[in-house]
Amino acid sequence: MKEPFLSAVPVIQKLESAGFEAYFVGGSVRDLLLNKPINDVDIATSATPEEVKQCFSKTVDVGIEHGTVLVLYQNKSYEITTFRTEAEYEDYRRPKEVSFIRNLREDLQRRDFTMNAMAMDKDGNLIDPFDGQAAIKNKVIQTVGKATDRFQEDALRMMRAVRFVSQLSFQIEKETLNALVDLGHLLDKIAVERKQAEFDKLLFGINRKQAIQLILQTNLYSYLPGLADKENNLKLMLEHRLDRLNTREMWALLGYCLKIEKKEMEEFLKGWRFPSKEIREILNILHYLNIRFKASWSSYDLYAARKKTFVSAEMLYLVISGIESVDSIQDYIDLYERLPIKERSEMDLTGNDLIGWFNKSGGPWVKELLIKVEEAIVEGTVGNNKKIIKEWLMECNHN
Ligand code: ATP
Ligand code: MG
């Protein structure tokens, strides 16, 4: 047994010694068999949430209505979920209520794909009633049970299938794929937040290009916010080398391919329920990308955009222009690092200085002049020193 499972073994032992069953389940077991890095281990148990809470001194109720308790143990946290079924689904969505059960097999049976429906005990023995190991060996994504039933229970599973295509470079098994084509329209019933989380992961997967292709081929794009009639725009994404872009840059590229104005792009991102800070950052990248298409970066643009934004905008510029070398990014970072100031607050000048020097009452002119000086400092025209700034202003009669 290796980390992070090893540290969690005492957690399982604790539940077992209280008379319950407990296993590692889900993505962590899959990723272990795939030799992939494992983020967090999920544990499933026959203990009810209340019983789990009695076994540990530090717990947090994170999703108790779904049977999940967060256990803090030796500075690590574990999500422990009670075996459950989701017998009654409403309106193609996740059920509102779940029933807790004492049986592992039934818990595995309600999981989405065979590769995700394995459990492992504390000694490393696999419990694999749906042959998830074969799915992993053959690199296939296949629902547990009949695909049409499973997608009708929870339509998000269709998005998850394509997201796993992107992350794992697996193929979707034929019947599962057919069901996905037939039932794609059920995605309309799914909360945008859930679709967003899967699409976000899809955009960042190693096999993202094939996944986007699949979204197109299967018509799933028609049921995603703001993409219903954007087949040709989505296709444009495939013309570029996508592997260099992070998730935010992928969203910005999508915006670029949509060929929409800023306001519309803002609405598009709102439609995907992005928080406003994230919307601002994506719009900013697109703004500087536009500027970049017209000219190379000026010192002031680098300063105004800030590092994270100009690095992203430059990366997108290179990708869209089909430029292989990314050396320019480092060159611009070097230029940025050498800027005399990085923030307005670092200026050796305040509005009060200006009001005193020019002996005028405050007004819009103060802000305008501050910006002028800021630009001059950033561009290296004047040093960032009160005395020098004053001389420069008097000399050019900037009043
Ligand atoms: P990741 O590595 O991205 O976390 P994951 O497989 O762990 O992938 P999660 O969303 O964390 O995905 O879900 C954990 C497990 O819960 C899955 O492996 C699967 O067994 C089950 N699961 C998650 N979502 C669904 C769903 N919509 N329907 C059925 N089972 C699901
Ligand atoms: Mg997970």
CATH number for position 120: 3.30.460.10
Q: Looking at the predicted structure, is the pLDDT value of residue 72 above 70?
A: yes
For the stretch 220-269, pLDDT in tens is: 999 999 999 999 999 999 999 999 999 999 999 999 999 999 999 999 99
Which domain-ending residue is among 197, 224, 251? Answer: 224
pLDDT at 98: 78
Tokens of 39: 């983020």
One domain, residues 247 and 289? yes
DSSP labels, 134-164: HHHHHTEE-BSS-HHHHHHH-THHHHHHHHH
One domain, residues 15 and 116? yes
One domain, residues 94 and 46? yes
One domain, residues 121 and 148? no
Q: Does the residue 231 lie in any domain?
A: no
CATH number (domain holding residue 166): 1.10.110.30
One domain, residues 364 and 316? no
One domain, residues 44 and 108? yes
- Which atom of ligand 1 is least distant from the CA of 42? 14
CATH number (domain holding residue 333): 1.20.58.560
The rounded Å distance from CA 212 to ligand 2 centre is 22
Beta strands at 76-82 and 68-73: parallel, antiparallel or unpaired: antiparallel
**From atom 7 of ligand 1, which residue's Cα is the shortest distance away?**
27
Would you place residue 87 in the very low, low, confident or very high pLDDT band (cuts 50, 70, 90)?
Answer: low
Q: Does the residue 382 lie in any domain?
A: yes
Mean pLDDT on 5-30: 97
Q: Looking at the predicted structure, is the pLDDT value of residue 399 above 60?
A: no
Would you place residue 314 in the very low, low, confident or very high pLDDT band (cuts 50, 70, 90)?
Answer: very high
The rounded Å distance from CA 116 to ligand 1 centre is 7
**From atom 1 of ligand 1, which residue's Cα is the shortest distance away?**
27
Q: Does the residue 95 lie in any domain?
A: yes
Which residue from 89, 103, 110, 88 is spatially nearest to 20, judged by alpha carbons?
103
Beta strands at 126-127 and 22-25: parallel, antiparallel or unpaired: unpaired
Q: Looking at the predicted structure, is the pLDDT value of residue 397 above 70?
A: no
One domain, residues 101 and 219? no
Mean pLDDT on 173-199: 97
Is 230's C-beta closer than 6 angstroms to any atom of ligand 1? Answer: no
Is 150's C-beta closer than 6 angstroms to any atom of ligand 1? Answer: no
- If 0-12 CB within 10 Å is exposed, 13-18 middle and 19+ buried, where does residue 363 land? exposed
One domain, residues 2 and 114? yes
Contact 344, 374 (CB under 8 A): yes
Candidate from 111, 144, 167, 201 with most ligand 1 atoms within 8 A of CB, to mutate: 111
For the stretch 126-182, pLDDT in tens is: 999 999 999 999 999 999 999 999 999 999 999 999 999 999 999 999 999 999 999
For the stretch 342-379, pLDDT in tens is: 999 999 999 999 999 999 999 999 999 999 999 999 99
pTM of the model: 0.91
Q: Does the residue 69 lie in any domain?
A: yes
Q: Does the residue 385 lie in any domain?
A: yes
One domain, residues 319 and 391? no
pLDDT at 85: 86
CA angle 318, 323, 328 (to 5 degrees): 60
**From atom 8 of ligand 1, which residue's Cα is the shortest distance away?**
27
Residues with Cβ < 8 Å from 176, sequence gap 6 or more? 141, 142, 143, 147, 161
Structural domain count, the chain: 4
- Considering only residues 25 and 100, tell me which one the structure prediction assigns the higher pLDDT: 25
What does the mean pLDDT of the chain come to?
A: 95
Which domain-ending residue is among 113, 130, 147? Answer: 130
One domain, residues 168 and 217? yes
One domain, residues 266 and 372? no
**From atom 21 of ligand 1, which residue's Cα is the shortest distance away?**
111
pLDDT at 96: 63
pLDDT at 140: 98
Rounded-to-5 percentages of helix, strand, coil across the chain: 55, 10, 30
Which domain-ending residue is among 71, 103, 130? Answer: 130
- Which atom of ligand 1 is least distant from the CA of 153? 28
CA neighbours closer than 13 Å in the CB half-sphere of residue 189: 19
Counting ligands in written order, the one closest to the CA of 201 is: 1
| Domain assignment of residue 117, given as a range | 1-130
Q: Does the residue 92 lie in any domain?
A: yes
Contact 161, 65 (CB under 8 A): no
One domain, residues 253 and 326? yes
pLDDT at 94: 64
Q: Looking at the predicted structure, is the pLDDT value of residue 91 above 70?
A: no
Q: Does the residue 60 lie in any domain?
A: yes
Q: Does the residue 233 lie in any domain?
A: no
pLDDT at 102: 86
Mean pLDDT on 298-321: 97
Q: Looking at the predicted structure, is the pLDDT value of residue 95 above 70?
A: no
Is 119's C-beta closer than 6 angstroms to any atom of ligand 1? Answer: no
Q: Looking at the predicted structure, is the pLDDT value of residue 395 above 90?
A: no
Q: Tell me the percentage of the chain whose pLDDT exceeds 70.
A: 96
